[in-house]
Homo-oligomer: A and B are copies of this chain.
Amino acid sequence: MKNLTLLTDLYQLTMMNGYLNEGIQDDIVVFDMFFRRNPSSGGYTIVCGIEQLVDYINGIHFNPEDIKYLRELGLFTPEFLDMLENFEFTGDIYAVEEGTFMFPGEPIIRVKAPLFQAQLIETTLLNIINFQSLIATKASRVCHAAQGDPVLEFGLRRAQGPDAGIYGSRAAIIGGCNGTSNVLAGKMFDVPVAGTHAHSWIQKFDSEYDAFMAYARSYPDKAMLLVDTYDVLSSGLPNAIKVFDEITKQGHKPMGIRIDSGDLAYLSRMSRLMLSQAGYSDISITASNDLDEYRVQELKNMGCDINSWGVGTKLITSSDCPSLGGVYKLCAASDGEKLVPKIKISEDPEKITNPGFKKVVRIFTGEGQAEADLIMLEDEEIDTKKPLTIFHPVYNWKKKTFTNYSVRELLKPLFVGGKCTYKKRRVMEIRDFVKSEMETLGAHYKRISSPETYKVDLSNKLWLLKRQMLHDSKGE
């Protein structure tokens, strides 16, 4: 991974320099990272990119070239530049486990560190988590629409630069994709790679049949043939079937066809019919071409006969919603020895933050279904032997009482006193974790459109604190 230390907004550095001038650089502060809306108006967000965040924090160091560049900007004091030269992260970072589904307003990462340090890392932390969470969530939605069919990530050529291709692939796999076309991602993350041939392969030969035969000579057991270069039903399918007959005679098993244009529902059904009539009823039909969760769902509803999906541009860019608006807000700051809650007021109630040093607890039914999350102050505990009543933070009369339930704290340490406590997991393990986590989330929260809103409530103590601070703030 490249050194991302300078990958920050200039204002982080000008503020840090200012804090040093004011002598408050070592004040302990707490920042929460959270987002305000799920991508694509969906019902949940899968948090992704934790490992790259850890690598970034572990790798922070200003080298002499960086210092030289900053000095030349003429904005900073020599004392500040000296401090950067010896910069070391000494704080605590807690985060949800990579792959956890989360909801608007919940802290997903909590940074407690000297002001100087907490400020520096804001931009890159957001950059990494916002993007990978966006793509993992998109992939999860596409896979949900595909109802268990394999989904392959094919978007590298339209990704927003090399990293977007690489880390987008990683996030797509974590979100549920079965493989990627991206070879570098395959190598870096030990995930399955997939792909056969392009239209240019067909064009390079004298005929479609010759091209298919040539491909089958090289890959007799992986003959996935792209049948839409000329015409799917009058040319691609008849040629593919001739080739399948040849390789079957040679003792190989034909693998499938891919259709990359046209009416995918009609063409897939007709292709299935022709393949069945030719004796290839269990062959795979892969579809590609501008797919996303909406299109996959529509094709399923139209009765397509597709059993594998290649998804490109619209997945790797999350095209209908190309950013997750994760933010990083001050929620507490030291006043002497003690942490004092901080709140950000706004005209817009949605933009008012939750004050204080907090944690998030997930409440599960006796059957293990996630039913609600509760944001609490760090020192609060839940006694699961007693019933638990939660209430909506705005419409307080909306209450729910749990009797047979269990709870899980979601924020876990990544760094404690600057020491990294994070244990790397293989990407495919994180993918398995996502799969099992998603089974605890009800289907009504996973709908592609108009999902139910999952309950995220505040503990009574946090709710009272917030109300008090809002009332006290009146005027400013």
Contacts and interface: CB of A to CB of B under 8 A. Distances in A.
Contacts of A347: 231, 261-262
Interface in A323-337: 323-326, 329-330, 333
A122 interface: yes
A17 interface: yes
Nearest to A345: B230
Interface size bucket, A side? 35 or more
Given A14-B218, A313-B325, 15 more contacts: A6-B187, A7-B162, A9-B156, A11-B198, A14-B219, A15-B197, A15-B201, A18-B214, A31-B200, A75-B222, A124-B162, A131-B161, A200-B329, A261-B347, A322-B322
Contacts of A164: 131, 160-161, 163-164
Nearest to A217: B21
A204 B7 contact: no
A195 interface: yes
A90 interface: no
Contacts of A157: 9, 122-123, 126-127, 130, 326
Interface stretch (A178-186, A248-256, A295-303, A427-435): A178-186
A342 interface: yes
A-B pairs with lowest CB-CB distance, top 3: A10-B195, A11-B195, A163-B163
A449 interface: no
Interface string A121-151: 0111011101110100000000000000000
Given A122-B157, A160-B168, A161-B131, A17 B262 contact: no
A432 B7 CA distance: 25
A193 B130 CA distance: 23
Contacts of A426: none
A436 interface: no
A10 B187 CA distance: 11
Contact of A9 (B131, B181, B317): B181
Most chain-B CB neighbours within 10 Å: which of A122, A156, A325? A156
A8 B157 CA distance: 8
